[in-house]
Structure 1
Amino acid sequence: MIRQSLTAIALVALFVPACASNDFGDRIENASDEWRDGEKKVDRGEDLVSDAEKDLKRAKRRLDEGIREEAKAERRLEEARGAFDQARALAGQASNADEAAREASRIQSIERDIRRAEDDLKDARAKQRDAKSDAEGAEKRLKRGKELIEEGQRQMEEVETTYREITG
């Protein structure tokens, strides 16, 4: 009976350090995996921030273009409407068919200019709307990227502390 107890104690003594060393290795491996995960979050966050900053810059440039195009289209529209009002006021003074045809052609040309200016104005406003929407999306991605970087850095700091405690 004493012999069996001694054998059992010896076996336990052999396995306890083995379990402890296996546990030690597992803990270090887990810390390493967590550290890598934190690094990946930081990398993803940095990529997201970089892409979002580029997209934000592009969206702001498109917004500025849209504003300039809108102002240009509004001037063209105002000029075309002024020309139309003038042509309309002078209409009906033709003395023959050729003059009436030229008058009609001129008015039709002005009407086309008005339609083009209105279309350009709509396009410029749509461009601004799209640019604002793109900028909002880029700002959200920028915020998310910064959050990922902070989260990854915090995770790596925590893991480093845990690693120091394990190996300390």
Structure 2
Amino acid sequence: VQFYSLDLREQGINEIINYLKPNGKVVEDLILDKIEQAVIRIGKDKRPLVEEFFKLLISLPRPVPIEYLSEILNVEISFLSDLSSDIWNGLILEDSLFRFRDEDFENYVKQTYQSTKEELKQIAKLFLSKAKTDEYASINLGSLELLH
């Protein structure tokens, strides 16, 4: 909670203190607030895209190449970079690879955004089609098949 509440410094010390009080917000509330702020910045009409992004991020073996997310979501890499900037306190985008910054954020995403079996099958098909030419797909295909 301390880590996430420090990002509230623009809103003033009173807001930070309110989050840290006993009965203040819990980590999950702060994470949800960050995601909601990101959705507002990129446009509420893009909410389904953000939800799909998190489903993929939790379903794919990490670190996840940004190119995979871009291809599957059919969005520009710049969109994903912007999204990672908006949710920097939960995600790390480094060397074109996404990973979670901390276990709290990862657990929140895992509990909130779950792929359907059909979506997971589509991911496995993509990995299978790329396994002979792409290192990420070939290394992780076996673990994907085991999960599904």
Task: Report the TM-score, using the length of structure 1 for normalisation.
Answer: 0.20
Greater relative contact order (CA < 8 Å, ≥ 6 in sequence): 1
- Relative to its length, the structure with more helix (as a share) is 1
The structure with the larger Rg is 1
